């Protein structure tokens, strides 16, 4: 794991660590079922107190990013962690697990298309339904998927879907990969739930590290969760040398960004921030968009 923390940042080290691990999972750099370093090993590697690592792990377990296994191992939560031990799996559940396993091993839906053709063509979807808990992130995923695929895109939360299961009818259901196993039980068994990974922020972090002078770094987003993640993710590169500002759309004043040297914008903010200093961050990883496009195409009759 490529983790960096700054003890000089105003962001608590525990929060920096927890958010960076969550981001590694969201960007698929930490895979489902992968074992994390022990508390003492990671504390020694980062030169921080072991209680700080322990608290970060506990927070991620509480938020269902990680799970504890026998022998005090901490692992990234996987689909099997949401299944009851000994529960009987019907054919549709086995098919869903097979499709997900195939994807994790690099196979595309096209490879499985012939065997799944009858099921895929049964009530073919005519729109995409994005399921996420935060309205801001819903809007971002909606905008990027609509731009990339040209499909109609609707959004809802897990609670909305649980109360109105009919929302999944005729929809290709999509969720961030860390939330897929929470969304899947809410979707009819005959309908596959697709997951998407988030883009890495490595090049944006490196851009800050390459700055020769103290600078003002701004992040503008429609998502409060994205701002929270950015604050922790950029903290080690910012240190005390650079200043950090965050803005949740809509901006209170168009003059707010004048002092910024770099302005990181999400896919909605980039349309509103008219500045040569603006740098675009796309939330969805390109590989996930390609996979989603292939999946959508596979639902069309030949």
User: Are 5 and 48 a contacting pair, CB within 8 Å?
Assistant: yes
CA atoms within 13 A on the CB side of 67: 14
Helix (H, G, I), strand (E, B) or coil at 120: helix
Instruction: Specify whether the CB–CB gap between 239 and 265 falls below 8 A.
Output: no
Q: pLDDT tens for residues 28-84?
A: 899 988 999 999 999 999 999 999 999 999 999 999 899 998 777 899 987 555 554
Report pTM. 0.78
**Which domains are assigned to the chain?**
13-31+33-77 (1.10.10.10), 82-197+286-298 (3.40.50), 202-280 (3.40.50)
Structure-token pair, residue 33 = 């079922």
Of 114, 144, 94, 87, nearest to 283 by C-alpha is 144
Spacing of C-alpha 175 from chain mean position? 9
Least confident range from 9-23, 95-109, 154-168, 270-284: namely: 95-109
Q: Smallest Cα–Cα separation from 22: which of 79, 64, 74, 84?
A: 64
Share above pLDDT 70 across residues of the chain, in percent, rounded to a whole number: 90
pLDDT, tens only, 239-263: 999 999 999 999 888 788 999 999 9
101: which residues sit within 8 A by CB, 6+ positions away?
A: none
Q: What are phi and psi of 280, to 5 degrees?
A: -85, 130
Residue 265 CB neighbour total at 10 angstroms: 24
């Amino acid at each position: 794991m490529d983790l960096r923390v700054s003890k000089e940042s105003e962001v608590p080290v525990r929060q920096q660590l927890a958010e960076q691990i969550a981001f590694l999972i969201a960007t698929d750099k930490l895979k489902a079922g992968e074992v994390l370093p022990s508390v003492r090993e990671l504390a020694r590697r980062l030169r921080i107190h072991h209680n700080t690592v322990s608290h970060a792990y506990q927070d991620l377990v509480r938020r269902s990013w990680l799970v504890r296994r026998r022998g005090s191992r901490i692992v990234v939560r996987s689909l099997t962690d949401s299944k009851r031990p000994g529960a009987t799996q019907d054919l549709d559940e086995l098919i869903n697990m097979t499709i997900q396993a195939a994807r994790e091993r690099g196979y595309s839906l096209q490879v499985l298309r012939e065997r799944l053709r009858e099921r895929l063509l049964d009530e073919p979807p005519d729109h995409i339904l994005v399921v996420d808990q935060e309205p801001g992130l819903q809007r971002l995923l909606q905008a990027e998927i609509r731009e990339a695929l040209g499909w109609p895109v609707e959004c809802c939360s897990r609670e909305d879907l649980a109360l109105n299961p009919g929302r999944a009818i005729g929809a290709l259901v999509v969720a961030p990969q860390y939330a897929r196993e929470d969304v899947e039980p809410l979707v009819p068994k005959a309908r596959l739930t697709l997951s998407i990974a988030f883009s890495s922020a490595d090049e944006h972090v490196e851009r800050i590290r390459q700055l020769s002078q103290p600078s003002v770094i701004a992040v503008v987003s429609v998502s409060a969760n994205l701002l929270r993640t950015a604050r922790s993710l950029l903290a080690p590169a910012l240190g005390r040398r650079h200043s950090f500002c965050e803005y949740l759309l809509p901006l209170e004043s168009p003059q707010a960004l004048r002092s910024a040297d770099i302005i990181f914008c999400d896919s909605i903010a980039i349309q509103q921030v008219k500045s040569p200093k603006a740098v675009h961050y796309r939330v969805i990883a390109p590989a996930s968009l390609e996979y989603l496009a292939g999946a959508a195409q596979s639902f069309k009759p030949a």
